[in-house]
Amino acid sequence: MTATAATVTATRARTGGPQEDGPKILEHVMGWTLVVVLAMLVTRLGLL
């Protein structure tokens, strides 16, 4: 890679996509909440 290409890559604006420093604890809590709700639904419907 040339120096010009490195400069263009470093100054390029982000266009969206996943953030590296997002609220990871919130994702874990919401994921486990979904697991618990699905487990309750399965047991209430007698599917297990």
pLDDT at 18 (0 to 100): 65
14, containing H or E segment: none
CA quadruple 8, 14, 20, 21: dihedral positive or negative? positive
Write the secondary structure of 1-48 as one string of H (helix), E (strand) and C (coil): CCHHHHHHHHHCCCCCCCCCCCCHHHHHHHHHHHHHHHHHHHHHHCCC
Domain ranges (residues) in the chain:
23-47
Distance CA 22, CA 27 (A): 9
Residues 1-48: pLDDT tens digits? Answer: 566 655 555 666 767 766 666 678 888 999 999 999 999 999 999 986
C-alpha of 45 from chain center: 30
pLDDT at 13 (0 to 100): 72
